[in-house]
Amino acid sequence: MASELETTPPESQDGIAKLARTVREKILIDEPVKEDGLIDQLERAATEIDDLLGSSFGPRGMNKIIINPVGDIFVTSDGKVILKEMDVLHPIVTTLKKLAESMDKACGDGTKTAVILASNLIKNAIELIRQGVHPTTIIEGYELALKKTYEMIQYSVKQATEEDVRTTILCSATGKGIEKKQAEAVTDIVLKVVEHLNEMQSGRIDLNRNVKVLKKTGGTEVFALEGLILDENPAREDMPKTFENPAVLITNYDLKIKSGYLNPQHNLKMDSVKTSILFEERKKEMCGEIARKIINSGANVLFSEGDIDPYIETLLRDNNILAFKKLKMKDLEKLAEATGTTLMTQHDEIHPYDLGKADIIRVEKKNGENFVFIAVREKAIASILIREPVKYGLDKVEEAVDDALNNAAFFLKNKEIVNGGGAIEFELAHMLRLFAATQTGKKQLAVQAYADALEKIPTILARNMGMNAIDALVQMRNAYSKGIEARIDISGKVTEKGPEVYDSAAVKKLAIIAATETARNVLRIDEIIPKK
């Protein structure tokens, strides 16, 4: 190592040292940490994450403004975005980030519930450790509490009707802080999209592959199409704008002639008008050949990754062909799959079977911006266009659409639901405390700590609704003692009346299991050793 540093220029050594200092600042640990110092580190990290996500939890949660290292600004209450953009490398924070990532990958929802629960399990464990309870005992108590929680939640699960499914998806959209009417529109659109995909794929839905979400500022609209929506301009504004049952051609090369093709030996000089005219005539002749190849193929609509020569554009326009140029390859690949089109390379001969099909292709202008709507009803692909006047509102609706899509897709596999609004967590916490009373030894304290962590969910919801959290929990206990399933309502009251609020039982179970496993792994740590 020393020899490597000796051969490194001084300026490079300074850069490496500066990078190491920056990383250490983000990790917030310089020396090995264990015993009391480790306990303080765990408590600090868990408390800060709990406070950060807790204040943004629920439909009335507050937003965070995040400025990342490259200067991008995010205004969001979405848990996975907040954690992803945090520029902190502390090992405990990183562990909770990975929990959020795994929840998002597994079901696309429940990230904040899982992270808040894991943070509180860690915090409550720290209190017990300071009272003399060994971490191994706490871990055993948490495992016991998890098994009992999973067993008890089964008694609260019910099979969702079609209306219950809609209500649950509506709750997930509303939970992102958008207005109720907008959430209802998002819910209806998402249900329509998922129903179409399910019909085409028989339940094997891949949202990343089968759904494209396009967001644009300007106007107020959430629109879905069975097919693709692209924000692209025609190669010429005077090209035709609408085709029914079009033949689609896709190319991945420039449709233009470069000087190197005309004069590969580079022995011609533009030293006379005659030479220049001959050069242009030959160029037009070669462009005409390219255009005729496209025209003779029978294609009505052309999508090209490369540029298109203006003369070719004119010939295509004259033959009633709509063309688009300089498209992204990922859009072309999705378009090729949706329309059944072969992606043509420069030297390919175009055959009728290389052309794709669509029901309708039309170009429509919205707020001065062109959109291409490619309707393909018999394929498992859909697009959702979101338009909002300001970027902040756009991001909120996108988050609502994302959560609604994930919940809707999840319900195709499992239609089990539980009461929302903190009701299920309160109920589980209450039953766990009764269970803890049957235990002996210090494990009883760990089970009670687990119950306290679960009860933090309705506590945070009540606080974010502007309610007194203690009064809200007292009212929930009174209701529960009378056999009434009360919840924290969006109106800011503890009630059993009003619109129903449900959560996906599968997502809730996964959040509880993942949070417990994360907390157990953290509590097994006895030392943090930074690498020098």
The verdict on 340 and 232 lying in the same domain is yes
pLDDT, residue 273, reads 62
Q: Which domain holds residue 499?
A: 31-157+420-528
**The two three-digit tokens of residue 345, written as one number:** 């390379």
Q: What are phi and psi of 475, to 5 degrees?
A: -65, -40
**For the segment 409-419, what is each residue's pLDDT rounded down to a tens digit?**
888 888 888 88
DSSP state of 300: S
Cβ atoms within 10 Å, residue 345: 9
Nearest alpha carbon to residue 420 among 491, 485, 512, 514: 485
Residues whose CB falls within 8 Å of the CB of residue 19, separated by 6 or more in sequence, listed in order: none
Residue ending a domain, choose from 326, 360, 378: 378
Instruction: Please count the structural domains in the chain.
Output: 4
The verdict on 135 and 197 lying in the same domain is no
Residues whose CB falls within 8 Å of the CB of residue 408, separated by 6 or more in sequence, listed in order: 165, 169, 190, 191, 193, 194
End-to-end CA distance of the chain: 12
d(C-alpha 168, C-alpha 93), whole Å: 30
pLDDT, residue 430, reads 92
Nearest alpha carbon to residue 172 among 430, 341, 455, 399: 399
CA angle 75, 420, 205 (to 5 degrees): 70
Residues whose CB falls within 8 Å of the CB of residue 384, separated by 6 or more in sequence, listed in order: 189, 190, 193, 211, 212, 213, 214, 222, 223, 224, 401
The verdict on 266 and 201 lying in the same domain is no
The verdict on 401 and 426 lying in the same domain is no
The verdict on 16 and 105 lying in the same domain is no
**The two three-digit tokens of residue 435, written as one number:** 């269970």
The verdict on 524 and 463 lying in the same domain is yes
**The two three-digit tokens of residue 23, written as one number:** 């990383």
Is the pTM higher than 0.85? The answer reads: no
DSSP characters over 136-188: HHHHHHHHHHHHHHHHHHGGG-EE--HHHHHHHHHHHHHTTT--HHHHHHHHH
d(C-alpha 298, C-alpha 114), whole Å: 55
The β-bridge relationship of strands 356-357 and 247-251 is antiparallel
CATH of the domain at 480: 1.10.560.10
The verdict on 193 and 311 lying in the same domain is no
The verdict on 250 and 177 lying in the same domain is no
The verdict on 237 and 373 lying in the same domain is yes
Q: Are 330 and 252 in contact (CB under 8 A)?
A: no
Cβ atoms within 10 Å, residue 363: 21
Ranges of H-type helices in 239-272:
259-262
Q: What are phi and psi of 59, to 5 degrees?
A: -65, -20
The verdict on 353 and 253 lying in the same domain is yes
Label each residue of 433-467 as H, E or C. Answer: HHHHCCCCCCHHHHHHHHHHHHHHHHHHHHHHCCC
pLDDT, residue 110, reads 82
Q: Are 108 and 406 in contact (CB under 8 A)?
A: yes
The verdict on 459 and 497 lying in the same domain is yes
Q: Which residues of the chain have pLDDT under 50?
A: 1-8, 11-13, 15-24, 26-27, 260, 262
The verdict on 40 and 68 lying in the same domain is yes
Residue ending a domain, choose from 414, 436, 458: 414
**The two three-digit tokens of residue 170, written as one number:** 């509506």
